[in-house]
Amino acid sequence: MAQNKPESEGGHEVFNTKLKGLRNQSKLGGGEKRIEAQHGKGKMTARERIDALMDEGSFQEINGLMTSRHTDFGLDKEKFPGDGIVAGFGKINGRRVCVYAQDFTIMGGSFGEVAGQKVCRIMDLAMDAGVPVIGLNDGGGARIQEGIFSLYAYGEVFYRNTLASGVVPQISVILGPCAGGAVYSPALTDFIVMTKGISNMFITGPEVIKTVTHEEVDTETLGGAMAHAATSGVAHFAVENEKEALQTVRDLLDYLPANNKESAPMAEITDDPWRMDKELDSLVPSNPSEGYDMKDIITRVCDQGSFMEIMSNFAQNSIIGFARLHGQSVGIVAQQPLFMAGAIDIDAADKMARFVRFCDAFNVPIVTFSDSPGFLPGVSQEHNGIIRHGAKIVYAFSEASVPKLTVVTRKGYGGAYIVMSSKHIHSDMVFAWPGAEIAVMGAEGAVAILYRKEIAEKADPVEARKQLVAEFREKFSNPYIAAGAGFVDDVIFPHETRPRLIAALELLRDKQTQMPAKKHGCMPL
Ligand code: HXC
């Protein structure tokens, strides 16, 4: 069914009048004045947002007449049918979704018992129907007047976010305030989109922080879109305005299956599977210390215009996102030699591991582009737990049972090579480019350790070191020892990457793997 039929009426005038009145009241939310105030802040209302998000005319509202039963602190005079949440289902790009939006015009979108019941109902429906659920957040947190009933409401939502995790995709859009414990519902979902300048998320606001730690900070710096997209890693997208935020959700859903039983969707095929981009052959500099843009490789290999980067401002030494190969939706995981030479640090480890788990939960094959010089050295990295965080990548790639394809574009050094979906942790297909250096470590480092004494004793230690480095590089810094051992499946010319990946994906489309029976593993968190 594509669109709503126009409003229809029953036969009895008296019934019609009552229902029409209630519907109109529900549609008006907190009233004209508050709608004006909402617009005055540059924000859409909950209903306008839902209309902008969904396919035209597809939204079917439910529980629009639910009303709070609370009466304390003047709540007996604040009765609104719908009570601060607009909830329902409909379609995005022709595919079914469930959605809810906090209505800031009703008591600042504060979240009480009815709000909780409505959100839980829509999440239960989404799980039963096997469709994604999208939450549009803009509210002042727990409805203070409802006391612990608000806490109960939030708790039930958190519980359902957890149950729904890995069952249906969950997306949160933050379009206004989202503070206190309220942040934990979005935090439990798969993707968070925030609007710059107007949305914010924090556990405790500037005033509390000032009292407790004497730090002075404004709301935007503390918990605005860029704070979370670039620094904390809480948000996956920071966008300019509400329209862009809602469009981001529509775009994102195109790459995802509706639930964990479906395969990742196929898009219309728009690019030649045999396209071989000769520019790829010269993108990686011959000098191993020189950087290059891994995104250039990703966009040339994948279907043209299909790469959608996620968390582009956070841990930029790593890259994650969705793309398509011959129409098939895939998850891309990569290192970015332009930032910190692509070394893996704590943030990059968290970012990549979480994304790998999402792809695995929702049957999205993973393509890894690896240029792995090592884990980032440093006292702060060690003391903040790079061991614990780095272990997440190994864990995530090892347990992922979706098709896993890997391309080693240049360095593959030591542990950081193993963790980036190498053959040793059971990637299905590993290709290396001819300039790949798969070794325990780089030539400079290896020579410094192996020949420290010999070099010191030479008449010209600089020349001696240079010669040993050249010898080591010639012998070990190449892909052929790994290829000879079967640790890479083939050494390929860079321009062959696209057809080779597409063929491997086609082979592995119905991949079956048996994992040992367990309740769940104990991932190092
Ligand atoms: C009840 C609330 C409310 C709330 C706002 N309102 N927050 N009503 N409970 N939590 C009401 C206001 O009283 C006001 O009503 C209307 O909503 C609009 O609010 P304004 O303050 O006029 O709007 P604005 O200036 O835009 O500021 C928005 C705001 C601010 C930043 C959200 O209202 C605010 O700081 N609210 C309190 C936030 C908070 O501390 N929440 C509780 C967090 S604790 P009138 O009738 O005057 O227009 C929490 C625990 C959750 O959430 C734990 C879950 C596990």
Report the 3 state secondary structure along 168-193.
CCEEEEECCEEEHHHHHHHHHCCEEE
Q: What's the average model confidence in pLDDT over 163-173?
A: 98
Report whether 83 contacts 46 (CB < 8 A). Answer: no
Q: What's the average model confidence in pLDDT over 511-524?
A: 94
Give ligand 1 pocket residues (Cβ under 6 A).
Answer: 107-108, 110, 140-145, 151, 154, 177, 179-182
Q: Look at ligand 1, atom 45, and give the residue with the nearest C-alpha.
A: 107
Q: What are phi and psi of 471, to 5 degrees?
A: -65, -45
pLDDT given at position 76: 86
Alpha-carbon dihedral sign for residues 13, 14, 16, 20: positive
Q: Look at ligand 1, atom 23, and give the residue with the nearest C-alpha.
A: 108
Out of 103-107, 230-234, 335-339, 458-462, least confident range: 458-462
Q: Closest ligand 1 atom to the C-alpha of 143?
A: 9
Q: What's the average model confidence in pLDDT over 46-64?
A: 97
Q: What's the average model confidence in pLDDT over 419-440?
A: 96
Q: DSSP letter string over 470-496? A: HHHHHHHSSSHHHHHHTSSSEE--GGG
Among the listed residues 58, 56, 62, 54, the one whose alpha carbon sits nearest the alpha carbon of residue 26: 62
Task: Dump pLDDT digits (tens) for 460-494.
Answer: 989 989 999 888 888 888 999 999 999 999 999 99
Kind and range of the H or E element at 325?
A: strand 318-325
pLDDT given at position 9: 63
Tell me, in angstroms, the distance from the centre of ligand 1 to residue 213's CA: 23
Among the listed residues 271, 360, 262, 342, the one whose alpha carbon sits nearest the alpha carbon of residue 307: 271
Across the chain, mean pLDDT equals: 95
Strand-strand pairing, 191-195 and 170-174? parallel
Question: CA-CA distance, 363 to 445, in Å (whole number)?
Answer: 40
pLDDT given at position 202: 95
Out of 14-18, 407-411, 505-509, least confident range: 14-18
CA distances, 111 to each of 36, 138, 171, 420, 500 (Å): 21, 10, 19, 42, 52
Q: Look at ligand 1, atom 38, and give the residue with the nearest C-alpha.
A: 140
Q: Closest ligand 1 atom to the C-alpha of 158?
A: 55
Q: What's the average model confidence in pLDDT over 149-154?
A: 96
Q: Look at ligand 1, atom 22, and give the residue with the nearest C-alpha.
A: 108
pLDDT given at position 328: 96
pLDDT given at position 380: 97
CATH of 41-253, one of 2.60.120.1360, 3.30.420.40, 3.40.50.150, 3.90.226.10: 3.90.226.10
pLDDT at 8 over 80: no
Q: Return the active site residues.
A: 180-181, 415-416
Band (71; pLDDT cuts 50, 70, 90)? confident
Q: What's the average model confidence in pLDDT over 68-81?
A: 88
Return all residues near 8 (Cβ < 8 A) that are at least 6 apart. Answer: none
Show the CA angle centred on residue 278, arms to residues 273 and 280, nearest 5°: 90
Domain boundaries, the chain: 41-253, 278-442+477-507
CA distances, 80 to each of 27, 33, 150, 327 (Å): 10, 15, 17, 47
CA distances, 135 to each of 256, 295, 308, 485 (Å): 17, 31, 21, 50
Considering the domain 278-442+477-507, what is its CATH architecture? Alpha-Beta Complex (3.90)
pLDDT given at position 3: 60
E strand spans, 341-400: 366-372
Structure tokens at 5: 């039929």
Q: What are phi and psi of 291, to 5 degrees?
A: -85, 170
- Using a pLDDT cut of 70, give the percent of the chain over it: 98
Question: CA-CA distance, 308 to 138, in Å (whole number)?
Answer: 26
Return all residues near 268 (Cβ < 8 A) that are at least 6 apart. Answer: 327
Q: What's the average model confidence in pLDDT over 352-363?
A: 98
pLDDT at 324 over 70: yes
Question: CA-CA distance, 46 to 42, in Å (whole number)?
Answer: 13
Question: CA-CA distance, 363 to 79, in Å (whole number)?
Answer: 45
Number of H helices, E strands in the chain: 20, 17
pLDDT at 255 over 90: yes
- Using a pLDDT cut of 90, give the percent of the chain over it: 85
Structure tokens at 58: 């597809």
pLDDT at 60 over 90: yes
Rg (CA), the chain: 27
Q: What's the average model confidence in pLDDT over 507-519?
A: 94
